[in-house]
Amino acid sequence: MPQIPITMPQLGESIAEAIVVDIQVQPGDTVAADQEIMEVETNKAVMSVTTPSDGVIDRVTAEEDVSYAVGATLGYLTVSTDAANQLGLSDPGDSRVSAESDDTAGVHFKVEDDAVPQIDAEQLQQEDDQPTVKPTIEGLPVPAKATGASYLSPRLKARMVELGLNKSDLAGVAGSGSGGRVTVEDFESFVAEIEQNKMTPASPMRIAVADSMRRSWSRPLATVGSPIVLDALLDHRRTAQQKAGPALYLIRALALALAENTAVAGRLVGSQIVHPGSVDIGFAVEAEDGVLVPVIRDVDQKPLSQLVPIYDRLVGQARDRRLPPDALGTGIATVTNFGTFGIVWATPIPLPEQNLVLGLGRGSKQPVWDDEKNTFVPVTGAALTLSFDHRVLDGGAAGRLLSRISELLQKPEDL
C-alpha cells in the first residue's frame, strides 16, 4: 500500500521552524484524517501536527526536543490507494507526493524542493535526510550598559553568522581597532571569555522576545505618565455582574480614545502615516520564560461586558501557549498591567509593528486634596504611562491621549 510523508506544516506565515515537544503515536497505530499526533512549539504558541489522511502509522522519524523546518518529514503514514489518489499521488503505487501545493501562497519561508526528500520504496529502507533547523542562538549574555559595535567587517560578519549571533550580542565588546572598531580578534577573545561562564540555552520564546525588543529599539521611543485615581473603576468592578480586571478597563478606554483619532496609532512608513483599519488591542500575559501578547479584535465595537469572557479565555490560552490564530496577529497598541508585579512606574517598549503601549502601575492608598471638603482625602491611585514612537507622536499629543484615557476611566459605566 502507498506510504506518504507526515510533514511539518506551515504554522504561520512568518514561522520557519518548530520544536517537536510531544509525540502521541507509535508505529502500527491506526489514525483518522486530521487526527492530532504531535505537539510542536514555535516562538508564539504550542500547536498540533495532524495526519493528512486515514491510515496506519508506518514509522515516526521525528524526535522530541528537536527543531524541524517547515516541510520536514516527521514520519510516514500507510494509506489506501483511494486516499493516495485524493492526496494527488501521480501513481497509486508510488509513494511520492507532488512538491507543488496551493497552500504555499503567502508563505514567507519555504523549504527548497531539493531539501525535501522524495519518498520511494528504496529510500524508505534508508536513514532519513531531514532538513532540520538548528536554533541560531547560543545563550550569550548581553551586557545592559553596552551600545553595540559601530562597524563590522565582512570577515567578522561571516564569523558571527557561523555562530548564529547578531550585532546586539556584541554590545559589551570594547573594540581595539581604529575608531573603536571591533576586530575579529576582539570578538574571539569575547567568545573565549564567556565560554568560561555557565550558559543555558535560550528558549524559542526568549529568542523571539529579544529579537522583537531589538527591532523596537531602533526607533526613537519616549514615555509620558500621569497619576490616575482608580476608585471609580474599583467601585464599578465590585458591583458588576462580570468582573473585569483593571487591564481590561484600560483596553476598552484605550480603544475608545484611539477610535476618536486613529492617526495617533498610525505607523510612519516613509513620508506617510498609515492609519489602522480596525482598533485591535493586544495585552501582555506573562508566560513561561517570556511574554505573549494576545490580540482582541474591534475592541471599540464591543462593550466591556462582552469583552470579559474573551479576555479571560485568551489569558488562559496564552499561559498554556495555545492561542488561536486570530489572536496571534498584529494589534495597533498593547496594554500591560505591570502593577501586578509591584512595579510603580515603568517605560515599556512598544512592539516593532506598533506605536503605543499603555501601562498601569501598582495601586496604593494616597492622600489627594479635595477642594469641596478643603482637606486631604484617601484615594486609591496609580501611575498611568504611555510609551510611544516619537516620530509619530510628540509629548503634547501623547499627553492629550493619556488624559482622554484617564477621563474615560472615570466613567467606567460607559465602557
Task: Provide the residue ranges of all domains of the chain, joining segments of one domain with +.
Answer: 3-125, 138-200, 220-414
The pLDDT-based confidence of 182 (bands split at 50, 70, 90) is confident
**CATH topology match: 3-125 vs 220-414:** no
pTM: 0.61
Quote the cell numbers at residue 280: 485591535
- Per-residue model confidence (pLDDT) at position 141: 34
The pLDDT-based confidence of 400 (bands split at 50, 70, 90) is very high
What is the per-residue burial (b if ≥16 Cβ within 10 Å, else e) of 272-302? ebeebeebbbbbbbeeeebbbbbbbeebbee
- ∠ CA 244-246-248, nearest 5°, is 60
Q: Which of 78-87, 101-110, 264-273, 404-413 has the highest mean pLDDT?
A: 404-413
Decide if pLDDT at 97 tops 50: no
Decide if pLDDT at 201 tops 90: no
Quote the cell numbers at residue 275: 492609519
Instruction: Determine the CATH number of domain 3-125.
Output: 2.40.50.100
Fold of 220-414: Chloramphenicol Acetyltransferase (3.30.559)
Condensed to tens digits (0 to 9), the pLDDT of residues 278-322 reads: 999 999 988 776 788 899 999 999 999 999 999 999 999 888 888
Decide if pLDDT at 108 tops 50: no
- Per-residue model confidence (pLDDT) at position 352: 82
- Per-residue model confidence (pLDDT) at position 257: 94
Amino acid found at 42: T
Decide if pLDDT at 139 tops 80: no
Q: What is the pLDDT averaged over residues 15-44?
A: 86
Lowest mean pLDDT among 34-48, 123-137, 378-392: 123-137
- Per-residue model confidence (pLDDT) at position 45: 74
- Per-residue model confidence (pLDDT) at position 128: 45
φ and ψ of 198, to 5 deg: -70, 135
| Contact present, 403 and 387 (Cβ < 8 Å) | no
- Per-residue model confidence (pLDDT) at position 133: 43
Distance CA 3, CA 76 (A): 6
The pLDDT-based confidence of 56 (bands split at 50, 70, 90) is very high
Quote the cell numbers at residue 164: 548564529
Distance CA 349, CA 21 (A): 31
- Per-residue model confidence (pLDDT) at position 118: 42
Share of the chain above pLDDT 90, in %: 33
Lowest mean pLDDT among 99-108, 119-128, 228-237: 99-108
